[in-house]
Each structure stands twice: as C-alpha cells, then as structure tokens.
C-alpha cells in the first residue's frame, strides 16, 4: 500500500534550558513516509504520557496497516482521499485513547497533547494537526508554514476586523491552546493535502523551536546544510541559544531528487 519513496530523514529532541523533563514525543518513519511530533500538556508528567500515546497510536495504525475507512462517515474515492482519511482517522483514534486513559487514571486526569503529522505519498503530502505544533515546507529556498495554530491568537485574528485589538487586550493569554488531543472525547482535526516536488524538505516541530527562533533563521539553516542530521542539531542548538524556554523537537524529511527550479 505504501510506495517506496526515496526519503531522507532526521529527528532530534531536547529538554531545553528551563524545563526539568521532556514532554515532547516524535517519530520519523521513512518506511511508511510518516513523520510526527506531539507536545504534551498536563501536570504530574501526564503530558509526556499523552504525547507518547499519540505517537504510538498513530504509528501503530500505519505499521499494522489497519483499515480505518469503515468508520469514516463520508465516501472515499481516489487513493489520495484514502491516504488523507487514514491519517485523520488514526489521529482521531489517538484522541480517544488519550481521553479514555485520562478518565481512568486520577494522576492523568486532564492530560492532552498537541500533534502534527505528515504522510508523504506519491506526489502528495497529507498533513493533519491539532494545537500549535507546526509543519513547514522548504522549497527553492523559501520556508512556508503549512499549518494554522489552534491558539486564541490565531482564532481571534481570523474572526473579525477588530480581533487584533482583542488579542492585544488578552496578550497574556494569546498563545493559549484551543484544541488538543485528549482534552475532549471528540476533537476537530485540521487536515490538508499538498502536491510535492523532488527536493522538498518538510519540518515538523514543537513550539520550542518556532517560538524562540525566527523563521528566517530556520530557513537559513535548512538552506545552508544539506545533511539533515546536522541541520536538526543546529536547530536544537539555536533554540537553546535563544533561551531554550521549552522542550524543543524537530523532525526533518526530504524527498529524493533535485529540487524543481
């Protein structure tokens, strides 16, 4: 079911400078074209549990090659449709697993996690995300964000002409997460499909990277260093040089072939 694509990948994670433990989880699976990051939320180390569950549940759905489409309420046509459905349904299953676990264990009550994942198929990238973990694409020297943060800031800015003033009034809450896996029994998962080109680099990262590090600096590192492992290490170092305010995780995947010019 999964075409063998030429994909190079690298992933790095670090606790940062101000946290005592790392609540980020990630996976880079070139064999199925799947790349994911989850950033846990909740006390008593429950955020770490939630993020790990999200990655493991989604990963398990793909490695087991399960048929998730029978629970999807809409008809599916092309293989592209089915790949998007498979990714979204696996994330939906992760949400339910985290929510159910949080209801059973008092110490895990209220645990949740952000999530972003990219599934690379033949000529297409399928993206699903919840929260403020981001997906970027680097193409022809340009870094483009492919996800919209589910935060109070972005939702207010997209709501009305007067939203910017409202955000300024609520500046201390502007980055509050409005969606997360496990927070509720059901969650609205945002997805999109993008055509790919040889040489595209996809970056999936937690806010520990994009928060302190300007996008132009991220783009500069990806442009200057072809070795993805080295680039990932430099991105982690750069986040820590900017104060390392949070756990920082980045997953990089590059499609084989020369970039389109």
pLDDT in tens, 199-250: 999 999 999 999 999 999 999 999 999 999 999 999 999 999 999 999 999 9
pTM > 0.95: yes or no: no
N- to C-terminal Cα separation, the chain: 31
> For the residues 155-170, what does the mean pLDDT come to?
60
In this predicted model, what pLDDT tens digit does every residue of 72-105 receive, in sequence order?
Answer: 444 445 556 789 999 999 999 999 999 999 999 8
Residue 41 confidence (pLDDT): 93
**Average pLDDT of every residue of the chain:** 88
Delineate the domains of the chain, giving CATH numbers in brackets.
7-255 (3.60.40.10)
Here the contacts of 77-84 (C-beta below 8 Å, separation 24 or greater) are 79/121, 80/121, 80/124, 80/126, 80/193, 83/119, 83/121, 83/124, 83/126, 84/126, 84/128, 84/191, 84/193
Residue 229 confidence (pLDDT): 98
Contact 59, 29 (CB under 8 A): yes
Give the pLDDT band of residue 162 (cuts 50, 70, 90). low
Residue 111 confidence (pLDDT): 95
């Amino acid at each position: 079911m999964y075409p063998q694509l030429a994909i190079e990948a690298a992933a790095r994670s670090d606790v940062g400078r101000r946290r005592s433990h790392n609540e980020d989880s990630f996976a880079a699976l070139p064999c199925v074209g799947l790349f994911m990051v989850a950033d846990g939320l909740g006390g008593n180390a429950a955020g770490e549990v939630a993020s790990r569950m999200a990655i493991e549940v989604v990963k398990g759905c793909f490695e087991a090659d399960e048929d998730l489409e029978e629970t999807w309420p809409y008809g599916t046509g092309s293989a592209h449709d089915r790949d998007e459905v498979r990714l979204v349904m696996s994330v939906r299953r992760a949400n339910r697993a985290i929510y159910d676990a949080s209801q059973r264990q008092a110490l895990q009550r209220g645990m949740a996690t952000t999530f972003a994942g990219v599934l690379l198929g033949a000529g297409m990238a399928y993206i699903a995300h919840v929260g403020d973990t981001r997906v970027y694409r680097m193409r022809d020297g340009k870094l483009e964000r492919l996800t919209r943060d589910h935060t109070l800031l972005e939702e207010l800015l997209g709501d009305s002409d007067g939203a910017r003033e409202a955000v300024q009034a609520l500046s201390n809450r502007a980055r509050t997460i409005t969606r997360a896996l496990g927070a509720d029994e059901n969650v609205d998962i945002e997805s999109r499909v993008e055509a790919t080109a040889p040489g595209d680099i996809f970056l999936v990262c937690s806010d520990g990277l994009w928060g302190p590090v300007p996008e132009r600096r991220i783009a500069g590192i990806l442009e200057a260093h072809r070795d993805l492992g080295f680039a990932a290490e430099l991105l982690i170092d750069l986040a820590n040089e900017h104060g390392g305010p949070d756990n920082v995780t980045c997953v990089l995947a590059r499609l084989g072939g020369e970039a389109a010019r």
